[in-house]
Structures are given as structure tokens and as C-alpha cells.
Amino acid sequence: MVRRVAPVRTCVGCRRRAPASELLRIVAVGDEAGHSLRPDPARSLPGRGANMHPDPACFAQAVRRRAFGRALRITGVLDHGDLAEHVDAPTTTSGQPDRTRVASKVGRPT
């Protein structure tokens, strides 16, 4: 009986290695405005991909370290709004917490 080993990838946020099935694949989609990051849970979109735990902490760490551009080999500013919504991370494009979103989750007005 032959045992197959699951592929192992490194999270761009926390830099820990994990089976690819536990990580979210992310691809960059180019348009006239630049590149935007899109989640690829089915792992079927074409192009180079980066992997990340589907965790808001890993997402915030990857944004702070600017890891997506290096992993995807893209220069310039990347729009990660769609990815932030998918991960449900309370951060803005600057990587800082979005106070209005955090306050709304707690149930208090800002």
C-alpha cells in the first residue's frame, strides 16, 4: 500500500508550515487599476498563488509585512479589500484596525 503525502505550504502571515488543505490560496488578478487579491478556496484560479491561514491575525500580519507582493512577485500597491472581506479581518488598507467596524461588532456606536 502506497501512502501519499499531502503537500505542505508556508503561510505568508505567520510563516508556519501547514498542509495545503488547511491554508487559503490567494491569487492576484490584474485589471486597468492595478492588481487585487482574490481568495481561491477551490484552488483552481490560474497564476501564481500565495497561501495563508484563513485567520484575521495571519492576514493582518501579512499586510503589515507586505508579504503578498513578495510571494506573488508583484510590484506596486495591491488592493486586498476582497480578501479582507473573505477573511473578515477588521483592518483597513493601512493594516490598522478599522475602529468603526470593531465598534459595530461590539454593538457600540463610534
Q: What CATH number was assigned to the domain covering residues 8-88?
A: 3.30.1230.10
Q: What's the whole-model pTM score?
A: 0.73
At 108 the pLDDT is 45
Where do the DSSP E strands lie in 1-110?
8-10, 17-19, 24-31, 34-40, 49-52, 78-79
User: Are residues 51 and 20 in contact, defined by beta-carbon separation less than 8 angstroms?
Assistant: yes
pLDDT in tens, 25-34: 999 998 878 8
User: Are residues 102 and 90 in contact, defined by beta-carbon separation less than 8 angstroms?
Assistant: yes
pLDDT in tens, 40-49: 999 999 999 9
Taking the C-alpha atoms of residue 68 and residue 30, their distance in angstroms, rounded to an integer, is: 14
Lowest mean pLDDT among 9-13, 42-46, 71-75, 90-94: 90-94
What is the percentage of the chain residues whose pLDDT exceeds 90? 60
Q: Which of 87, 88, 93, 90 is nearest to 102 (CA)?
A: 90
Taking the C-alpha atoms of residue 71 and residue 79, their distance in angstroms, rounded to an integer, is: 15
Residue ranges of domains in the chain? 8-88
What is the percentage of the chain residues whose pLDDT exceeds 70? 80
Residue 67 host element (H or E): helix 67-72
| Residue 15's pLDDT band (cuts 50, 70, 90) | very high
